[in-house]
Structure 1
Amino acid sequence: MRIALAQIVSGPVPAANLDVVARETASAVAQGAELVVFPEATMRCFGRNLVEVAESLDGPWATRVREIAADAGATVVVGMFTPADGGRVHNTLLVTGPEVETAYDKIHLYDAFGFAESDTVAPGEKPLVVEIGGVSVGLTTCYDLRFPGLYTALADAGAAVICVAASWGAGPGKVDQWQLLTRARALDSTSFILACGQADPTTVGEQLSGTAPRGVGHSVVVAPTGEVVATLGAEPGLLLVDVDVADVADVRRSLPVLVNRRF
């Protein structure tokens, strides 16, 4: 499977971000991608009101993403916000393509490093594994990356590839943590990790303030051995990688941590 990670800088206007989704999807598919992964908060960047843009999965924003995926003949994973109870939203990954139509609500909320995602976002409850092009793919979002149990649960459910859509918070050591955690989760689950983050907004001239996690870039594909297959820097870019899921079975035979664990 050829996959593409579209490392972008989302802005505050959902319609403008849709134009970016259309452009990057077309570019990825022109280069042979079957799966195009966008970051968390593609619909609207963090640091802005999320409730006012949240839409249901049959609303106009998601419908346009569906059309983009259908026109391209590829599966698209993209971060958006859907309404939740109590005046909050769900931090949702829409997964749409020729053979799949589903969504994942972020389970672990980013109440850390001075930011309280739970003030405006309600947690999801269920892990999700979907079939894309005959490959079992797990879905996770940003702060989920710090919780290895979710990744082993996805592997137990059949995932050979796990997507991470993120808008990682900046700060001392945060890029190092992102790089370490993506490799660790690949080893925990003996799965490919496809980790697509928002690019660093300062690389396109934005001046940032506050604690909202806006992205650091460094999207990465990690093999089930923990080896980095390919990565980007801090600035926007499109990362294309061919993933051979047969490698997962080989690694799980030689390193059967999922079978050997006792807790």
Structure 2
Amino acid sequence: MRAALVQLNVSDDPSANLPATVALVRQAAAAGAGFVLTPELTNGLSSSRAHQRSVFRHEEADETLATLRAEAQAAGIWLLIGSLGLLTHDADGRFANRSLLVGPDGQVRARYDKIHMFDVNVSETEVYRESDGYRPGNRAVLAETPFASIGMTVCYDVRFPALYRRLAKAGAQILTVPAAFNHITGAAHWETLLRARAIETGCFVLAPAQTGFHPETAGKGRRTHGHSLAVAPWGEVLADGGTEPGVTLVDLDLSRVAEARHRVPSLTHDRDFAGP
């Protein structure tokens, strides 16, 4: 099964970002990918809540989603839209950071709202409070497809291994980690975290990423790490997307999931224990 990781460098303008995304999805499909994945916040990155409110839409009205659903249907592919920033009807007005799996019929087959919010102090000048604008999800999602069971996660989730273990024990063979990973933490932790999640679970890990500097009309902009990665169940990196926008192809042999879990069956070795 051929998968394709689409690496993007988006601005804070969803309409302006869409043509480049469509072009890369088409490129991936033309190269034979049956499963195409885009990164976190495919529609746009912004630190301004006011700007986000002006350009985000509810799911049923989102232009990026409608267009990519049509592209998936036209190409006959499975498409993971890594995530979209979407308006919600929540009383506090916060957005959803929602990953959507689209089938080859163009229908949304699964939705996952990012559970863990990136509320961190990376440095004196790099401070993030994702929960100020986005409300966290509260449900893990395992999506069934004809080619694999897919555990859906987003970016900062990768630091919480219990989520991945839960998905693997429920049957996941592929774990998706679309991201807009900070360039500082990415350089230090990105590859290590993704390889660890693969090794712990015996799953393939597919992590399409945002990359480079992302300009904003109402803010200073931000940098992301890039290096979209595909990791095998034994922990080796199969493909690295580098730091430029583009498509990274990887062929997956799902029998390697069973092989890795047979060699080290740690998913069956849980034990209760006392302690703090």
Pairwise mapping of residues 74-93 of structure 1 onto structure 2 (< 5 A)? 74-78=77-81, 79-84=83-88, 85=90, 86-93=92-99
User: Could you tell which deviates more after superposition, 23-32 or 123-132?
Assistant: 123-132
Cα deviations by residue, 1:121-145 (Å, 9 ceiling, x for unpaired): 0000111111233311111101000
Report % sequence identity: 37
TM-score by length of 1: 0.92
Alpha-carbon contact 1:166-1:215 (below 8 Å) kept: no
Equivalents in 2 of 1:228, 1:169: separation in Å?
20
Per the TM alignment, residue 213 of structure 1 is displaced from its structure 2 partner at its CA by 5.6
Partner of 1:192: 204
Pairwise mapping of residues 6-155 of structure 1 onto structure 2 (< 5 A)? 6-48=6-48, 49-61=51-63, 62-78=65-81, 79-84=83-88, 85=90, 86-98=92-104, 101-113=109-121, 114-155=127-168
Cα deviations by residue, 1:169-224 (Å, 9 ceiling, x for unpaired): 122x532300110001111111000011101227xxx69x9797642101111111
Equivalents in 2 of 1:157, 1:46: separation in Å?
35
SS in 2 for 1:201: strand
Equivalents in 2 of 1:51, 1:255: separation in Å?
47
Matched, 1:182 2:194: yes
Per the TM alignment, residue 57 of structure 1 is displaced from its structure 2 partner at its CA by 2.5
Amino acid at match of 2:162: G
**Structure (1 or 2) with the larger CA radius of gyration:** 2
Equivalents in 2 of 1:201, 1:2: separation in Å?
29
SS in 2 for 1:241: strand
Alignment length (residue pairs): 259
Equivalents in 1 of 2:117, 2:147: separation in Å?
31
CA RMSD of aligned residues (A): 2.1
Partner of 1:5: 5
Alpha-carbon contact 1:53-1:81 (below 8 Å) kept: no
Cα deviations by residue, 1:201-253 (Å, 9 ceiling, x for unpaired): 27xxx69x979764210111111111111112122121100011111011111
Alpha-carbon contact 2:213-2:221 (below 8 Å) kept: no
Equivalents in 2 of 1:162, 1:121: separation in Å?
23
Equivalents in 2 of 1:119, 1:32: separation in Å?
40
Partner of 2:241: 232
SS in 2 for 1:50: helix
Amino acid at match of 1:144: D
Amino acid at match of 2:256: D
Gaps of 5+ in 2: 122-126
Alpha-carbon contact 1:77-1:94 (below 8 Å) kept: yes
Alpha-carbon contact 1:39-1:167 (below 8 Å) kept: yes
Equivalents in 2 of 1:224, 1:41: separation in Å?
26
Amino acid at match of 2:86: T
Equivalents in 2 of 1:64, 1:210: separation in Å?
27
Equivalents in 2 of 1:234, 1:46: separation in Å?
20
Alpha-carbon contact 2:207-2:229 (below 8 Å) kept: yes
User: Could you tell which deviates more after superposition, 111-120 or 52-61?
Assistant: 52-61
Q: Structure 1 residues 15, 133: CA separation in 2 closer, same or farther (over 3 Å shift)?
A: farther
Alpha-carbon contact 2:113-2:137 (below 8 Å) kept: yes
Alpha-carbon contact 1:46-1:214 (below 8 Å) kept: no
Gaps of 5+ in 1: none
Q: Structure 1 residues 33, 200: CA separation in 2 closer, same or farther (over 3 Å shift)?
A: same
Pairwise mapping of residues 198-237 of structure 1 onto structure 2 (< 5 A)? 198-201=210-213, 214-237=223-246
